[in-house]
Amino acid sequence: MREMADPQGASPMETRSDVPGRREARPDATAVGVGGRIRRGTKSDPVVLAAEHVSKSFAGVTALRDVDFDLRRGEVHALMGENGAGKSTLMKILAGVHTRYEGVIQLEGHPASFGGVRDAEGAGVAIIHQELNLVPELSVADNIFLGREPLIAGTLIDGRRIVRAAELLLRRLGVAIDPRSRIAELRIGEQQLVEIAKALSLDARILIMDEPTSALSSSECETLFKIVWQLADDGVAIIYTSHRIEEVLELADRVTVLRDGRRVLTAPIGELSRGAIISAMVGREMAANHRGTAAKNGAVILTVRDLTLDTLSSRGWRRALHGVNFQLQQGEILGIGGLLGSGRTEILESIFGVARGWRGGEIAIDGCVVDIESSADACRLGVALVTEDRKERGLHLAESICNNVALPSIGAMSRFGLRAFARESALADDVVRRLSVRCAGIYQVVSTLSGGNQQKIVIGKWLATEPRILLLDEPTRGIDVGAKQEIYELIFKLAEQGLGIVVVTSEMPELLLLSDQVLVMCEGHQTGLLQRGIATQETVMRLAAPGMATHSWDTPS
Amino acid sequence: MKAFRALSRTKLYWGLLIICLIGALASPHSSSGMNIFLSYGNLTDVLRQVSITGLVATGMTMVILLGGIDLSVGSVMGFSTIICAMLLTKSGWTAASIMGVPAATAVSFFAVAFLARFVFSGLARGRDDSAGRRREIALGPWRSMRIPALLGFVAAAAVAWFTVSQVPTKFGVLGVLLVTPCVALLLGSLNGLLIVAGRLQPFIATLAMMVSALGIGRLTAGQDHAVVAVYTGTNATEAFEVLRSMLWGVVPMPSVFFLAAIVLFGAILRFTTFGRYAYAIGGNVEAAKLSGIKVAQVQFTAYLLSGLLAGIAGVLFVAQYRQGKPDAGAGLELDAIAAVVIGGTSLMGGRGGLSGTFVGVLIFGLLSDILQLQNIDSNVQLVMKGLIIVCTVLVQEQNLGQLVARWRFRSSPEAGAEVRSVEPNRPLSAPRAQFAREDLDEAS
Q: Which fold has domain B7-23+34-90+170-397?
A: ABC transporter involved in vitamin B12 uptake, BtuC (1.10.3470)
- Taking a C-beta distance cutoff of 8 angstroms, is the pair A524, A550 a contact? no
A245 domain residue, yes or no:
yes
| Most B CBs within 10 Å, among A371, A392, A415, to test the B interface | A415
| Cα Dmax for chain B | 98
Classified as helix, coil or strand, A204 is coil
Radius of gyration, CA atoms only, chain A: 25
Contact A290, A111 (CB under 8 A): no
Q: Check A112 against B122: CB less than 8 A apart.
A: no
In this structure, the number of other CB atoms found within 10 A of the CB of residue A493 comes to 13
- Strand runs labelled E in B133-264: 228-229, 246-247, 251-252
Q: Spell out the SS3 assignment of A2-51.
A: CCCCCCCCCCHHHHHHCCCCHHHHCCCCCCCCHHHCCCCCCCCCCEEEEE
Please say if the pLDDT value at position B224 is more than 90.
no
Could you read off the pLDDT of A272-314 as tens digits, one per residue?
Answer: 887 788 777 766 544 455 555 555 567 888 999 888 888 876 6
Q: What integer pLDDT is reported at residue B402 of this predicted model?
A: 59
Chain B residues touching A395 at Cβ < 8 A = 284, 287
Find, in chain A, the residue whose alpha carbon is nearest to that of B434.
A234
> What is the C-alpha to C-alpha distance for residues A242 and A209, in angstroms, rounded to an integer?
9
Q: Which residue has the higher pLDDT, A555 or B402?
A: B402
User: Is there a contact between B292 and A376 if contact means CB atoms under 8 Å apart?
Assistant: yes
Residue A549: Cβ-neighbour burial (10 angstroms; 0-12, 13-18, 19+) = middle
Residues of A within 8 A of B280 (CB-CB) are 396, 399, 403, 407
Contacts of B429 in chain A (CB under 8 A): 46, 48, 73, 108-109
Q: Quick check: A100 and B418 CB within 8 A? A: yes
Q: What is the pLDDT of residues A421-460, one digit of tens each?
A: 888 888 889 888 888 888 888 888 888 777 778 888 898 8
Is A511 a domain residue?
Answer: no
Q: How many domains does chain A have?
A: 2
Report CB contact under 8 Å: B433, A235.
Answer: yes
Residues of chain A with Cβ-Cβ distance to B291 below 8 Å are 375, 407-408, 461
Determine whether the interchain pair B287/A410 forms a contact, defined as Cβ–Cβ distance below 8 Å. no
Cβ <8 Å between A410 and B289: no
The pLDDT score that the predictor gives to residue A128 is 84
A238 contacts in B (CB within 8 Å)?
A: none
Burial class of residue A292 (count of CB atoms within 10 Å of its CB; 0-12, 13-18, 19+): exposed
Q: Is A102 inside any structural domain?
A: yes
Say if residue A141 is in the same domain as residue A269: no
Contact A408 B291 (CB under 8 A): yes
Cross-chain CB nearest to B280 (options A99, A354, A396): A396
What does the pLDDT read at residue B432?
Answer: 38
What is the distance between the alpha carbons of residues A555 and A526, in angstroms, rounded to a whole number?
13
Contact B288 A396 (CB under 8 A): yes
- Rounded to whole angstroms, how far apart are CA atoms B286 and A381? 20
Return the number of other C-beta atoms located less than 10 Å from residue B120's C-beta.
15
- Say how far apart CA A90 and CA B119 lie, in whole Å: 58
Q: What is the CATH number of the domain that holds A48?
A: 3.40.50.300
Of B126, B274, B350, the CB nearest to A398: B350
Measured CA to CA, the distance from residue B369 to residue B22 in angstroms comes to 12
Question: Is A52 a domain residue?
Answer: yes
Q: Chain-centre distance of CA B129, in angstroms?
A: 34
Provide, as residue numbers in chain B, all residues whose Cβ is less than 8 Å from the Cβ of A394.
287, 290
Inside any domain, residue A445: no
Contact A376 B432 (CB under 8 A): no
Is residue A278 located within the same domain as residue A142? Answer: no
Instruction: Indicate whether A196 belongs to any domain.
Output: yes
Q: Which amino acid is at A343?
A: G
Q: Report CB contact under 8 Å: B136, A394.
A: no
Instruction: Spell out, as residue ranges, where chain A has pLDDT lower than 50.
Output: 1-39, 41, 285-287, 548-557
A61-72 and A237-241: which strand pairing? unpaired
Domain identity same for A97 and A142:
no
Q: List the domain boundaries for chain B.
A: 7-23+34-90+170-397
Whether A73 and B430 lie within 8 Å, measured CB to CB: yes
SS3 for B236?
Answer: strand
Contact check, Cβ <8 Å, A395/B432 = no
The neighbour count for residue B128, using CB atoms within 10 Å, is 11
Taking CB atoms and an 8 Å limit, are A231 and B433 in contact across chains?
yes
Does A169 lie in the same domain as A21?
no
Q: Which of B119, B291, B298, B428 to mutate to test the interface with A (most CBs of A within 10 A)?
A: B291
CA distances (Å), origin B329, targets A27, B70, B209, B255: 80, 13, 13, 18
- C-alpha distance from B161 to closest chain A C-alpha (Å): 31
Of B122, B429, B436, the CB nearest to A203: B436
Residue A408 with chain B: CB contacts under 8 Å: 291-293
Q: Which residues of chain B neighbour A234 with C-beta distances below 8 Å?
A: 431, 433-434
* Three-state secondary structure call for residue A125: strand
Instruction: Work out the angle between the directed axes of helices B295-321 and B273-283 (0-180°, nearest 10).
Output: 110
Predicted local distance difference test score (pLDDT) of residue A3? 41
What is the pLDDT at residue A289?
A: 54
Nearest Cα residue in chain B from A171: B435
Task: Give B351's contacts in chain A (Cβ within 8 Å).
Answer: 398
For B200-211, the DSSP string reads: --HHHHHHHHHH
On whether residue A391 sits in a domain, the answer given is no
Whole-number Å distance between alpha carbons of B78 and B329: 5
Half-sphere exposure of B77 (CA within 13 A, CB side): 30
Q: Is A39 left (phi over 0), alpha (psi -120 to 50) or beta?
A: beta
Specify whether A110 is located in the same domain as A143.
Answer: no
Distances from the Cα of B366 to the Cα of B44, B56, B73, B335, B369, angstroms: 11, 18, 23, 14, 5
Q: Which of A107, A203, A419 sits opposite B422 (nearest CB)?
A: A107
Task: Judge if A211 and A243 occupy the same domain.
Answer: yes
- pLDDT at B415 > cutoff 70: no
Q: Which of B291, B423, B436 sits opposite A407 (nearest CB)?
A: B291
Residue A80 shares a structural domain with residue A110: yes
Q: Looking at CA atoms only, how far is residue A230 from chain B in angstroms? A: 10
- At A300 the pLDDT is 86
Residues of A in contact with B119 (CB under 8 A): 416
Tell me what pLDDT residue A12 has: 40
Residue among B58, B20, B22 at smallest CA distance from B316: B58
Closest CA to A30 of A276, A275, A271, A277: A271
Query: A149 and A108 in one domain?
Result: no
Count A/B contacts: CB-CB distance under 8 Å: 171
Best interface-test mutation with A: which of B269, B422, B425, B434 has the largest number of A CBs within 10 A? B422
Q: Is A269 in the same domain as A214?
A: yes
Name the residue of chain B whose CA is nearest to A72's CA: B430
Q: Is the pLDDT of residue B171 over 90?
A: no
Among A249, A282, A315, the domain boundary falls at A282
Contact A165 B350 (CB under 8 A): no
User: Looking at beta carbons, which residues of chain B come within 8 Å of A173?
Assistant: 435
Same domain? For A181 and A221 the reply is no
A415 to B443: CB separation less than 8 angstroms, yes or no: no
- Chain B closest CA to A120's CA: distance in Å? 8
| Residue A165 falls inside a structural domain | yes
CA distance A232 to A227: 9
Would you say A235 and A205 are in contact if contact means Cβ atoms under 8 Å apart?
Answer: yes
A111 and A229 fall within a common domain = yes
CA distance A116 to chain B (A): 9
> What are the CA-CA distances from residue A486 to residues A211, A245, A273, A461, B304 (Å)?
22, 17, 22, 17, 47
Q: How much is the pTM?
A: 0.72
Q: How far apart are CA A161 and CA A169, in angstroms?
A: 12
CA-CA distance, B138 to B117, in Å (whole number)?
Answer: 15
Q: Do B129 and A413 touch (CB under 8 A)?
A: yes
On whether the CB atoms of residues A201 and A144 are closer than 8 A, the answer is yes
Distance of CA A55 to the CA centre of its chain: 28
In angstroms, the CA B317 to CA B301 distance is 24
Is the pLDDT at B73 greater than 90? The verdict is: yes
Q: Are A257 and A481 a contacting pair, CB within 8 Å?
A: no
Q: Which residue in B126, B272, B280 is closest to A417 by CB distance? A: B272
Using a CB-CB distance cutoff of 8 angstroms, which residues of chain B are in contact with residue A48? Answer: 429-430
How crowded is residue A538: how many other Cβ atoms within 10 Å of its Cβ?
9
Q: pLDDT-based confidence at B404, cuts 50/70/90?
A: low
Q: Which domain holds residue A62?
A: 12-124+204-282
User: Do A165 and B271 lie within an 8 Å CB cutoff?
Assistant: no
Model confidence at B74: pLDDT above 50: yes
Which of A231, A251, A282 is the C-terminal boundary of a domain? Answer: A282
The CA-atom distances, in angstroms, between B195 and each of B76, B190, B192, B334 are 17, 9, 5, 20
Nearest Cα of chain B lies from the Cα of A93 at a distance, in angstroms, of: 13
Question: What pLDDT score was predicted for residue A229?
Answer: 87
Note whether A66 and A53 are within 8 A (CB): yes
* pLDDT for residue B313: 93
Last residue of a domain, one of A202, A219, A246: A202
Asked whether residue A194 falls in the same domain as residue A225, the answer is: no
